[in-house]
Amino acid sequence: MEDALERNRALWTLFAAAASLQDREECARFFRDLCTLSELEAMAERWEVAQMVAQEIPYRKIHELTGVSSATITRIAHWVNHGEGGYRLMLKRMGPDSVQTREKKGKSVQA
């Protein structure tokens, strides 16, 4: 992790607060108070793209499904594949059955 982030006490306090949340309801309430709706939607969009990248969905298809720019998709893919391991940890921890992308949702609707 970057040195500036390592030394940021407020950031580590925030991480500690997030780590102490006990369930999804607490998490939702905390993040809704902390973030604007736009910020939450941006994070959710990044997470959705990360899931699609992990499923090896082509970037063009990800763009078609989400409207996210190819530059943003590439940046997220970099962090999925070469970042601190946070995306990979959560993808593994949540398992493939929990991955909900627009493509997967669309398939289940059509099935």
For tokens 């627009």, the residue is: 102
pLDDT tens-digit map of 22-81: 999 999 999 999 999 999 999 999 999 999 999 999 999 999 999 999 999 999 999 999
What does the pLDDT read at residue 3?
80
**Separation of alpha carbons 103 and 73, rounded Å:** 16
What number is the average pLDDT over the span 3-14?
Answer: 88
pLDDT tens, position by position, 19-38: 999 999 999 999 999 999 99
Report whether pLDDT(109) > 80: no
Query: Helix %, strand %, coil % for the chain, to 5?
Result: 75, 0, 25
Please report, for the chain, the start and end positions of each structural domain, with discontinuous segments joined by +.
1-34, 37-111
The DSSP letter of residue 96 is G
Q: What is the pTM of this model?
A: 0.81
At residue 111, the pLDDT reads 23
Confirm if 73 and 53 have CB atoms less than 8 A apart. Answer: yes
Q: How many of the other CB atoms lie within 10 Å of CB of 101?
A: 20
Handedness of CA 110, 40, 84, 97 (dihedral sign): negative
